[in-house]
Amino acid sequence: ARPSGHSCSSPEICWALPDTSHISHDDLTSQVGEVLLYYCYCEVKDPEKLCTWQKALCQHLHLTGKVRVASEGINGTVGGSKVATSLYIKVMLSQPLFKNILCQEDFKSSAGGAHCFPDLRVGVFKEIVPMGIDPKIVSYKETGIHLSPQEFHREVEQYLSRASQGQSDTILLDCRNFYESKIGRFQGCLAPDIRKFSYFPSYVDENLELFKDKRVLMYCTGGIRCERGSAYLRSKAVCREVYQLKGGIHKYLEEFPDGFYRGKLFVFDDRYAICSNEDIISACRYCGVLWDQYKLCSSQHCRQLVLTCLSCCNKGLTACCPVCQEKELKVTSRASGQTLKEECECTRRRPRVPIENLSPRMLDTGK
């Protein structure tokens, strides 16, 4: 079913912070903890107020991470001790703004803690996930049909069976970025070679014929990109139907750790990836050995991620491409102190929006 969001007038924000006087400082700040991932689409009358409260709540519980607030809802990934994250969930569920919309199962958790993020960043934005399309034009209220992990698993199973016989009318679509799908993805998926989710609408526009009369099964990390991505795809009125994995890969792996998703799950914090199965589906950029542990390019002014194995690292091969590896980047500074980063081979050789030619070789349906 499609969620209707919170359509009535937005409730007032409760400013209360949880009582932590009975909790020791060590328990509240323990390095052994978890990282929470969640989102909630609802109408927020005063995003600035919600932002201020959210920042105070996270600081009170010694949580780090990123929280995006907008008039369309909230999207967060925060890390801290298990005591702190448990309290955070309890307070979020009691916040009148999220009442009857947000529930316990909407919080995806993985082993980690406050150390997984460099700091706490809470801000107000136009969108809670940056797709670059005004929420008033393409709303989360027009999303695809949500499938539970069990339903999605059955759909993928049927899709792979039909695809192997060349009979599929379905596209299994990964709406994440290329560096995410490179280290882990569903078998038989179409994984767009895009660098940012904000390129996704252009990708759909440029490849509209691909989706004509198709059933589309979409997935992403935690479900949020599918909410707006599926709404955008549906707005084009070319697909037969659009479905999405509720709770994303996170929830699927909780129930099917050895299912149709193979490899690591990329996460946007200092861990880079979390593991549910032993498969390695990506390779070292330099020698080609199986490898799926990302590092930042060693060139100071490049933010690309690179897959370089221990052996190649020891040989000094630590950059994303020869341009970064072989020369010192010349960086000019603006008067404001901002730096201009030089574009490297990685960004130059990749089309901003790839045009697909969907052939059997693209969809590896084997395990």
Specify whether the backbone of 349 is left (phi greater than 0), alpha (psi in -120 to 50) or beta: alpha
Rounded (5°) CA angle 265-224-254 = 45
DSSP one-letter code for 296: E
DSSP letters for 303-350 = --EEE--HHHHHTT--SSSHHHHHSPPP--B-TTSPBPPPP-HHHHSS
DSSP-derived letter for residue 10 is P
Q: Is 284 a catalytic residue?
A: no
Residue 243: C-alpha distances to residues 148, 152, 170 (Å): 10, 9, 11
Tell me the three-class secondary structure of 15-30, residue by residue: CCCCCCCCCCHHHHHC
Catalytic option among 220, 284, 312, 324: 220
CA 185 to CA 157: how far, in whole Å? 15
Distance CA 105, CA 357 (A): 38
Active site residues: 220
